[in-house]
Amino acid sequence: EAGDRRKAQSAARADYEQGHLTRLITADTVSALRSQRGYKSAANASKLRSPLHPHPHPAPRSPLRLTSLQHHARSMATSKVEKTEDEWRAILSPEQFRIIRQKGTEMAGSGEYDKHYDEGVYDCAGCGTPLYKSATKFKSGCGWPAFFDAIPGAVTRHVDKSWGMERIEIVCTACGGHLGHVFKGEKFPTPTDERHCVNSVSLKFNPQEGAGKFEPPPRTGFFSRLFGSL
């Protein structure tokens, strides 16, 4: 009987020690796992904050950058081109001088670029500053090249009260050369509802693939659908 009691006590002690050891192993394992997870989290955080990943979250997108053409136009516009009248006469043809420097106007339908729709950029004939892209040129039927917008910063507007009426004159920002006038609210199917009426003599075209062409939206009116193909 005494031997059986000792065996029972030994078994109970073994069960207790095994349970205690199991609890210790479990606690140590959990602690180790937690520590390892913490290390990995810290490591991941440090990676996210490394020079390659300076922020744990993606940085907000920056605004769209201006194209190199727009940068060039703005840099040309900020660096003013100033010449004497004699210097302008020396580099311009008589017709160019009359229109660009003396604010003249070419005859309707006579200009080289009136019905010109190749892809490229239209520069100022006086100083070479990029003014308009072919993607903004549209058919207006007015007899002069028509654009619905200029390259940002390339063109400046002034009030023109000549000939007993008030109009908006447009000039090259860089050299002040006369380009023409801008008219608004004529209901052309363009994004701006503006028509930059520009003298061909004031422009110099440079071919450029990928500059684009303007495609007006399809006509949706009843009579346009009925007679549009005539």
Q: What pLDDT does 162 receive?
A: 93
CB 177 within 8 A of CB 171: yes
Active site includes 127? no
Inter-CA distances, 171 with 76, 137, 154, 177, 197, Å: 14, 17, 9, 5, 11
Residue 156 bridge partners (DSSP) = 171
Catalytic annotation, pick one of 124, 127, 172, 197 = 197
Cα separation, 15 vs 86, whole angstroms: 112
User: What CATH number does the domain containing 173 carry?
Assistant: 2.170.150.20
Domain that holds residue 142: 83-207
Low-confidence spans in the chain with pLDDT less than 70: 1-78, 219-230
Per-residue model confidence (pLDDT) at position 75: 58
Q: Which residues pair with 206 in a beta bridge?
A: 121
Task: Tell whether 180 and 124 lie within a shared domain.
Answer: yes
C-alpha distances in Å from residue 228, one per residue of 128, 215, 219, 225: 40, 16, 8, 5
pLDDT value for 67: 58
What pLDDT, on the 0 to 100 scale, is given for residue 52?
43
Determine the pLDDT at residue 43: 45
Residues listed for the chain: 230
Residues 36 and 107 in one domain: no
Residues 3 and 88 placed together within one structural domain of the fold: no
Residues 98 and 44 in one domain: no
Pair 100, 156 in one domain? yes
Are both 26 and 125 inside the same structural domain?
no
pLDDT tens profile 174-208? 999 999 999 999 999 999 999 999 999 999 999 99
Q: Residues with Cβ < 8 Å from 199, sequence gap 6 or more?
A: 99, 104, 105, 106, 111, 144, 145, 178, 179, 180
CB-based contact 211:133 (threshold 8 Å)? yes
- At 217 the pLDDT is 77
Residue 210: the pLDDT is: 82
